[in-house]
Amino acid sequence: MFSISEKSILSSRLLSFLIAFSMFLLISSSLSLIEFEENSFVPKSVLQLIPNLVSNASVNNQIPNAIIVDAQESPVKSPVFPNETLNNTISVDEPEEKHLTRKCDKTKAHLKVYMHDLPPKFHFGLLGWNAPANQTWPSLTDRVKLPSYPGGLNLQHSTEYWLTLDLLSSSNKDIVRPCTAIRVENSSEADVIFVPFFSSLSYNRFSKHRQNRKGSGDKVLQEELVNFLVKTKEWKRSRGKDHLIVAHHPNSMLIARRKLGSCMFVLSDFGRYSSRIANLKKDVIAPYKHMVRSIAADNSPLFDERPILAYFQGAIYRKDGGAIRHELYYLLKNEKDVHFTFGSAHQSTGVREAGKGMAHSKFCLNIAGDTPSSNRLFDAIATHCVPVIISDEIELPFEDVLDYSEFCVFVRAKDAVRKGHLLNILRGIKNERWSRMWEKLKEISGRFEYEFPSRENDAVDMIWQTVSRKNVSTRLSVHRKNRYTRSQFRLRM
Ligand SMILES: *[C@@H]1O[C@H](CO)[C@@H](O)[C@H](O)[C@H]1NC(C)=O
Ligand SMILES: *[C@@H]1O[C@H](CO)[C@@H](O)[C@H](O)[C@H]1NC(C)=O
Ligand SMILES: *[C@@H]1O[C@H](CO)[C@@H](O)[C@H](O)[C@H]1NC(C)=O
Ligand SMILES: *[C@@H]1O[C@H](CO)[C@@H](O)[C@H](O)[C@H]1NC(C)=O
Ligand SMILES: *[C@@H]1O[C@H](CO)[C@@H](O)[C@H](O)[C@H]1NC(C)=O
Ligand SMILES: *[C@@H]1O[C@H](CO)[C@@H](O)[C@H](O)[C@H]1NC(C)=O
């Protein structure tokens, strides 16, 4: 039997619970109103300054669809054989074998990762892999038979492929790799839940075929993914906060990301995201896979062996931030020691030419295109050509452990277009200072190499390290959110 006072305590608790719950509904419905902010071409800083602007739906409706669809240079579809894909990634640094062990001890791994066994159509099926019945993942024992990622421009966003292969290989005793991340079978033990959807490839493959059916294949896959994920106990447990989703192509996951925005994304930049859906606190910036061949440290041309002062080859843009390319072109086109041409560097022979050009240039320009980032930065690093970054909104991979000012020159866009300014800066950097940056480039270029099997401090390993550093802040926010929901759960019991 309850006493009177116990009853009234119970009912007042019930009442306060109801109040809290309706407050929650009110807040979450008003938050969903500002969700569309993401595609906006209005600079993010402006939106942050004027929160009210965000809730005006017309901001979103002004965005021409075409810009989003064909914004990236269209993919070239030449196949890359596994032997080439894997060989393409020779690291310049020798691996430090002493840190590698055959058996990776689960208790020593920085990051325990549970990977959803999504059906093959979400990952290796997109590579044309015909999964044998009852088999979700390809076997890693015969590397030549491994499904390879399509070549050309597709490859620059292949992060999804390398991370998935690396997790698969973490349970293969014959593969030697760093022990940063390890796959666990029991999701309760995991720090992170990895979602193996090859979203960039799905965009490159399927997004263009949209007219005939109810939606593109890419859209259908994204919707199926959302339906699957939000029902899992792993998602419900953390509301997605400990999930890792790779969306490296700026146009990938455009549909699903609104519903999965609480997760950690692996992205190339935040150019097409609102700061609510993607931000540095929870997300990971990953490098593009470079297109040109990397040069070995002891083959790298010196200052005097690089006759070209500044190198740029790229597409003409057209929209938004890309206008600066035109302005720079007119400023630089008559300089004898500047290579500045428009045109895709990535058609077969073009890549080899670009690689050679960059390796014989002191500085390589990275000018904002229609997205703040591009693979040009990583091509420059691979050829030890000191990057000059003219892209105010760029996000840089692993910047919490790398100080890019040690090996890059940053010039604000508004300064770069002042007559003579850029050339003055570059000509002012003499052999000694340039060589310090070049030494640093040689030291860190291995951090941008995607490899299979992965090696210590290569791109794959660096991504896992970054994720494990996020773990701390993610867990903190999961636990803070649990404060009241968990207490109320106990109260009802
Ligand atoms: C929303 O946008 C419309 C059209 O651009 C404008 O007329 C209206 O004043 C805006 N509302 C607010 C609250 O800014
Ligand atoms: C890679 O493998 C494919 C098919 O097995 C073969 O045709 C190609 O010549 C190989 N490439 C190299 C560079 O060995
Ligand atoms: C792989 O790279 C090595 C070192 O550059 C080279 O000698 C070898 O021929 C390459 N193999 C293929 C298949 O491209
Ligand atoms: C990640 O968070 C979990 C839970 O708090 C913790 O047990 C684990 O040690 C953390 N991992 C790292 C690398 O900090
Ligand atoms: C797949 O596995 C299930 C359960 O183990 C089995 O009943 C089924 O026959 C298998 N299907 C094939 C095609 O092997
Ligand atoms: C998974 O791990 C949790 C926590 O360590 C444990 O309670 C549970 O029994 C495990 N489940 C399985 C199927 O091993």
Q: 71 in a domain, yes or no? A: no
**Residues paired with residue 246 on neighbouring β-strands, in sequence order:** 266
Q: Flag whether pLDDT at 264 surpasses 90.
A: yes
Instruction: Name the closest-CA residue to atom 5, ligand 1.
Output: 58
Q: Nearest 5°: CA angle at 355, between 334 and 88?
A: 165
Name which of 325, 319, 363, 355 is nearest 341 in CA terms.
325
- Say if residue 274 is in the same domain as residue 380: no
Radius of gyration of the chain (CA): 25
- What's the CA-to-centroid distance between 70 and ligand 1, angstroms? 29
- What's the CA-to-centroid distance between 140 and ligand 1, angstroms? 56
Over residues 130-137, mean pLDDT:
90
Global pTM reads 0.72
Q: Which ligand is nearest to the CA of 62?
A: 1
Taking the C-alpha atoms of residue 358 and residue 146, their distance in angstroms, rounded to an integer, is 32
Q: 87 in ligand 3 pocket by Cβ < 6 Å?
A: yes
Domain-ending residue, one of 427, 448, 469 = 448
- Say if residue 217 is in the same domain as residue 167: yes
Taking the C-alpha atoms of residue 297 and residue 350, their distance in angstroms, rounded to an integer, is 23
Q: What is the pLDDT of residue 64?
A: 27
Q: What is the pLDDT of residue 421?
A: 95
- Say if residue 122 is in the same domain as residue 240: yes
- Say if residue 323 is in the same domain as residue 418: yes
Q: 22 in a domain, yes or no? A: no
Q: What is the pLDDT of residue 456?
A: 93
Q: 18 in a domain, yes or no? A: no
Q: Is 131 exposed, middle or buried (0-12, 13-18, 19+ CB in 10 A)?
A: middle
Q: 37 in a domain, yes or no? A: no
Q: What is the pLDDT of residue 450?
A: 96
pLDDT tens track for 453-470: 999 999 999 999 999 988
Q: Flag whether pLDDT at 59 surpasses 60.
A: no
CB 290 within 8 A of CB 381: yes
Domain CATH code at residue 365: 3.40.50.2000
Q: Which ligand is nearest to the CA of 82?
A: 2
CB 342 within 8 A of CB 316: yes
Q: 248 in a domain, yes or no? A: yes
Q: 87 in ligand 6 pocket by Cβ < 6 Å?
A: no
- Average pLDDT over the chain reads 79
- What's the CA-to-centroid distance between 134 and ligand 5, angstroms? 6
First to last CA, the chain: 17
Query: Domain containing 324: what range?
Result: 297-448
What percent of the chain lies above the pLDDT cut of 70? 71
- Say if residue 249 is in the same domain as residue 346: no
- What's the CA-to-centroid distance between 353 and ligand 4, angstroms? 46
Higher pLDDT, 449 or 280: 449
- Say if residue 118 is in the same domain as residue 244: yes
Q: Flag whether pLDDT at 160 surpasses 80.
A: yes
Q: What is the pLDDT of residue 23?
A: 72
Q: 487 in a domain, yes or no? A: no
The DSSP result for 278-293, as a single string, is S-TTT-EE-PPPPSSP
Taking the C-alpha atoms of residue 47 and residue 475, their distance in angstroms, rounded to an integer, is 28
Q: 27 in a domain, yes or no? A: no
Taking the C-alpha atoms of residue 366 and residue 374, their distance in angstroms, rounded to an integer, is 8
Domains contained in the chain, number: 2
- What's the CA-to-centroid distance between 294 and ligand 2, angstroms? 20
Instruction: Name the closest-CA residue to atom 10, ligand 3.
Output: 87
Distances (CA, A) of 279 to 48, 113, 172, 271, 480: 13, 22, 34, 11, 19
Taking the C-alpha atoms of residue 442 and residue 432, their distance in angstroms, rounded to an integer, is 15
Over residues 53-78, mean pLDDT:
31
Instruction: Name the closest-CA residue to atom 10, ligand 1.
Output: 56
Over residues 389-402, mean pLDDT:
92
Q: 321 in a domain, yes or no? A: yes
